[in-house]
Structure 1
Amino acid sequence: MQKFFEIETASESKARAGVIHTDHGQILTPIFMPVGTVASVKTVHQRELKEDIKAQIILGNTYHLMLRPTMDIMEQAGGLHRFMNWDLPILTDSGGYQVFSLAKSRKITEEGVKFKSHIDGSLHFMSPEISMEIQRQIGADIFMAFDECTPFPCEYNLAKTSMELTHRWLKRCIEWTEQNKELYGHKQRLFPIVQGSTYSDLRQISAEAISEAGADGNAIGGLSVGEPEPEMYRITDEVTDILPKDKPRYLMGVGTPWNILESIGLGIDMMDCVMPTRNARNAMLFTWHGIMNMKNERWKADFSPLDEFGTSFVDTAYSKAYVRHLFVSKEYLAKQIASIHNLAFYLDLVKVAREHIVVGDFYQWKDSIIPQLKQRL
């Protein structure tokens, strides 16, 4: 029987190249996952995601999909893959992070969370069991245990109480998934989530508890929520020392190109973030040379390719001057071109990182390329 996750490198370093096998295809790790919140990666066609960006897996959002289009429509469609015409792997979050972001309109109890919809203010309830049921109806290949995400800064006792609640909820998530079969004929893999804010002792307790659950993979949550970068790296390093080496590790909500490379160096296999598309819509492009603000005057008469080292068709098809013109003119095409570019860059970044891991010079390459990635052009 084929293993869910295989590591292809045998070096002693924490950075590793692997393969995740799902019923909708394999995923070469380390991997960046574009965020398709409401069954759509903003401004990007599914064809472009596959052919130009070369995404291997995308995300759907449990909270948003629950509200729109609703699970009745989702089941009628045959799950999210069929609904959005995407035949590659999908990961869904549990809704926990969105509940965290609704701090002013939610109430957390042992049973679950009551919250108001950001759309119309209607009242809803999410429990571990309901989150699992919704993610069954969505049909993601990888789905997340329901957790509580704490803010930064977070008082120690609050972080501890929240972490313990997340662990109790995990037991309910596992019990529900064991008692309820998949709906669409493909295997779904549950990932629990390590919490504990920036407290090393709590993170150790949580990582050990999550490891003991014996899930197919594990996630690290509650980071990239405002803490300084060194704190994020420190906690990630400590947690990956504890999580099983033979299971994929997913760092949720990260991040900048340099965050991604540093995290790979700390043993992370999977990452996601809205940054490449959100920043693209605001005219910020990430490139191998550095960061470009496409509204800047300097690009007004620059007719060189958008990015001569880019891997998507938009990089050589359009000039910097043209893309600047589109942004200044507030044309929707500007956001589409920029989003395709940024996502293709992120996928190229992890592809090249993987190549360096395989040949054994990842850390030297990482340290040499990060200053270049950070500079403003």
Structure 2
Amino acid sequence: MTFTIQHNDPASQARTGTLTTDHGPIQTPIFMPVGTAGTVKAVHQRELETDINADIILGNTYHLYLRPGLDVLQQAGGLHGFNGWKRPILTDSGGYQVYSLSNTRKIKEEGVTFKSHIDGSKHTFTPEGVMDIQRTIGADIMMAFDECTPYPCDYAYAKKSMDMTHRWLDRCITRFDETEGHYGYTQYLFPIVQGSTYTDLRRESAAIVAGKERVGNAIGGLAVGEPAEEMYKTIDLVNEILPRHKPRYLMGVGTPANILEAIALGVDMFDCVMPTRNGRHGLLFTTEGIMNMKNEKWSRDFSPIDAGLGGYASTFYTKAYVRHLFKSDELLAGQIGSLQNLTFYLWLVRQARAHIEAGDFVSWKNDMVKRLMVRM
């Protein structure tokens, strides 16, 4: 894997780059659609490649481990072979999903024991086991196993959790370095910075992660309820320590405005379920603001969803028709909403890239953030 920085914005920490993997290049800054169970909800692979033109998508270690299971994935040739996606894939470690199972999980030094949300069966994730699972899934980029702390949490718990995450990271690295993938291409491991919103813990974690000298690094444990300004402050201080010549991935973030502000702080990679989740419920992100497609005001509006965006769904379907689909609980509504939102998110990061290259990113970003505050 190589990461080449091509442009630096003169008025912020924003930059453009290219991350090269065996499954193809990733132009940064990039948004990565989330394919939890091996599929980006309500979107065909062909649409991901053509309309959305996603450079990379995500898979979910926890969900894929439970269903369809590792035997099926290995027999299919990994997730690439199973779902037909030929471009890069990143898998999270399952740490956040285990975090969300707070009523059924038990965290120990060895790992985390939890009950399946599907059938209640008992399972254990260890750092070593999670590396093996991601090797079998076949992700181009694998994430270290960590604990995501809630917000708020007290200092003592945040430090205890962070220290354990660092010990788990050492175990992940050892296992990763002593194993190889199954499918003939190179996989890479990203460590994750934790420490809640405590400045000294985040600095300590960032320094430890940077010292591992992996090919890229991630910032986790944000967008879990903390105020946006706390999130931006944390990103800023962490990015002062993480090496500039390596890609930085902000996990699970977020709104379009969050993404633009984080790009200005030097983040390169993003993922979030928000575009597809909101799209399935009629909340659409557009170049003119956020539209609630269930509002009566759209019932006789026969203009395209988003003429400024381009793309099939944005220009072919009218607001009135899409509102009708949502009010009628038609499955097509969720498909159109998801396609619109993912197209918008990829358009947004590519516009950011273009404006970084043009040298006017900050003024464009500030104007765009104001526009994204408009609710229609």
TM class by shorter chain equals: over 0.9
Mapped partners of 1:312, 1:232: distance in 2: 33
Per-residue deviation, 1:11: 4.8
- CA shift digits 1:272-291 (9 cap, x unpaired): 00000000011000011100
Q: Does structure 1 conserve the Cα–Cα contact (< 8 Å) formed by 2:8 and 2:356?
A: no
Per-residue deviation, 1:310: 1.7
Q: Tell me which of 4, 7, 14 is aligned to 2:5.
A: 7
Per-residue deviation, 1:359: 1.1
User: What fraction of aligned residue pairs are identical, expressed as a percent?
Assistant: 62
Matched with 1:369 is 368
Matched with 2:313 is 314
Q: CA RMSD in A?
A: 0.8
Number of matched pairs: 375
Matched with 1:122 is 121
Per-residue deviation, 1:4: 1.3
Mapped partners of 1:104, 1:304: distance in 2: 47
Matched with 1:170 is 169
Mapped partners of 2:176, 2:280: distance in 1: 38
Matched with 1:52 is 51
| One-letter code aligned to 1:111 | E
Matched with 1:156 is 155
Instruction: Flag as ranges the 4+ runs of structure 1 deviating above 2 A.
Output: 10-13
TM-score by length of 2: 0.99
Pairs within 5 Å for 1:293-372: 293-372=292-371
Matched with 2:84 is 85
Q: Does structure 2 conserve the Cα–Cα contact (< 8 Å) formed by 1:311 and 1:348?
A: no
Q: Does structure 2 conserve the Cα–Cα contact (< 8 Å) formed by 1:312 and 1:340?
A: no
Q: Does structure 2 conserve the Cα–Cα contact (< 8 Å) formed by 1:52 and 1:311?
A: no
Mapped partners of 2:148, 2:356: distance in 1: 32
Residue segments in structure 1 that go unaligned for 5+ positions in a row: none
Secondary structure of the residue aligned to 1:73 is helix
Per-residue deviation, 1:315: 1.0
TM-score by length of 1: 0.99
| One-letter code aligned to 1:80 | L
- CA shift digits 1:252-289 (9 cap, x unpaired): 00000100000000000000000000000110000111
| One-letter code aligned to 2:251 | M
Mapped partners of 2:288, 2:255: distance in 1: 14
Matched with 1:219 is 218
State whether structure 2 residue 277 is matched by structure 1 residue 278. yes
Q: Does structure 1 conserve the Cα–Cα contact (< 8 Å) formed by 2:9 and 2:356?
A: no
| One-letter code aligned to 2:100 | S
Q: 1:10 to 1:267 in 2, by over 3 A?
A: closer
Mapped partners of 1:84, 1:36: distance in 2: 10
Mapped partners of 2:78, 2:167: distance in 1: 28
- CA shift digits 1:210-247 (9 cap, x unpaired): 00000000000000001010000000011011100000
Secondary structure of the residue aligned to 2:148 is coil
Mapped partners of 2:295, 2:197: distance in 1: 38
Mapped partners of 2:209, 2:280: distance in 1: 37
Mapped partners of 2:131, 2:191: distance in 1: 12
Residue segments in structure 2 that go unaligned for 5+ positions in a row: none
Secondary structure of the residue aligned to 2:147 is coil
Q: Does structure 1 conserve the Cα–Cα contact (< 8 Å) formed by 2:105 and 2:114?
A: yes
Matched with 1:133 is 132
Per-residue deviation, 1:311: 2.7
Mapped partners of 1:73, 1:108: distance in 2: 28
